[in-house]
Amino acid sequence: MTQAISLEAVGLELGGRHIVHDLTVTLEAHRIAVIGANGSGKSTLLRLLDGLVPPTTGTISVHGIDPAYEARRLHRHVGFIFTNPDAQIVMPTAREDLAFSLRGVRDENGRRLDRAVIAERVDTWLAAHGLADHADSSAHTLSGGQKQLLAIGAVLIREPGLVLADEPTTMLDLPNARLVGDLLIDELTQPVVIATHDLELAARCDVAVRFAHGTISRVGDPAELIAEYRAEFA
């Protein structure tokens, strides 16, 4: 399976308004940051890649999958992390939430994972991420950072082939933002696309995509693009 994400002349029009236009890019880097002003089109790009909205014009390929036509295949392959973990945590406790996430996962023989395998994977994840002591407490009693770790865990534990994250550190303090960065940048072995205003996080990626006014204005080295972005508002 190709590891490229490519868009060819992609546009999205909603209610007669151009939301994004002329998106043409091929991205093969492992960690991709998407930066740019509020309303510039970052979340829309992730929604297009996740098939949540079909493009009005142009074509998209996500690791060889067309999100507009192959929704099932795409959803087995892609994991989406939202800004607000409350929107993502569905079960009463951390242990149940991670186990729930693994329920639909199949092994290499196409069989569902059995309960013992699920329980072991969940325990391992909780222990590795400092959540073992909170495994059985109500998820709503977790701190914001712990909730975001759990929400990210529920996506990563399924081992998706590509992770899309929309502002994953926005609601976090500096130590928790760094922790989530460590998870998405250092620990994750699969490719990730992160839309973010957290320029420290963006700087840790391999490539940055700059959005402005509904289109891609630059693609390149994160340090360079961040310096340009800062200079524009100095």
Helix (H, G, I), strand (E, B) or coil at 208: strand
Q: Quick one: which of 9, 39, 90, 220 contacts ligand ATP (CB under 6 A)?
A: 39
Amino acid symbol at 19: I
Give the C-alpha separation, 152 to 188, whole Å. 11
User: Per CB under 6 A, does 14 bind ligand ATP?
Assistant: yes
- What residue has token string 């991420």? 129
- CA–CA gap between residue 210 and residue 197 (Å, rounded): 11
Q: Please identify, using beta-carbon distances, which residue of 91 and 199 lies nearer to ligand ATP.
A: 199
User: Is residue 43 close enough to count as binding Mg ion by CB under 5 A?
Assistant: yes
Please tell me whether residue 215 binds ligand ATP under the rule CB under 6 A.
no
Taking residues 144 to 163 in sequence order and writing x for each that binds ligand ATP by CB under 6 A, - otherwise, the string is --------------------
14 binding partner (options Mg ion, ligand ATP, none; Cβ < 5 to 8 Å by kind): ligand ATP
- Give the separation between CA 149 and CA 180, rounded to whole angstroms: 7
DSSP 195: E
| Chain center to CA of 199 | 16
- Nearest one of 169, 164, 191, 175 to 85, comparing CA atoms: 169
For ligand ATP, the closer of residues 93 and 215 by Cβ is 215
Does the protein bind ligand ATP through residue 40 (CB under 6 A)? yes
Q: Are 118 and 197 in contact (CB under 8 A)?
A: no
Phi, then psi, of 11 in degrees rounded to 5? -140, 155
Shortest Å distance, C-beta 216 to Mg ion: 15
Distance CA 134, CA 190 (A): 27
Contact between 16 and ligand ATP by CB under 6 A: the answer reads no
Q: Is 38 in the site for ligand ATP (CB under 6 A)?
A: yes
User: C-beta of 59: minimal distance to ligand ATP in Å?
Assistant: 19
Minimum CB–partner distance for residue 140 and ligand ATP (Å): 25
19 lines the binding site for ligand ATP (CB under 6 A): yes
Q: Which residues make up the interface to Mg ion (CB under 5 A)?
A: 42-43
**Footprint on this chain of ligand ATP (rule: CB under 6 A):** 14-15, 19, 36, 38-44, 211
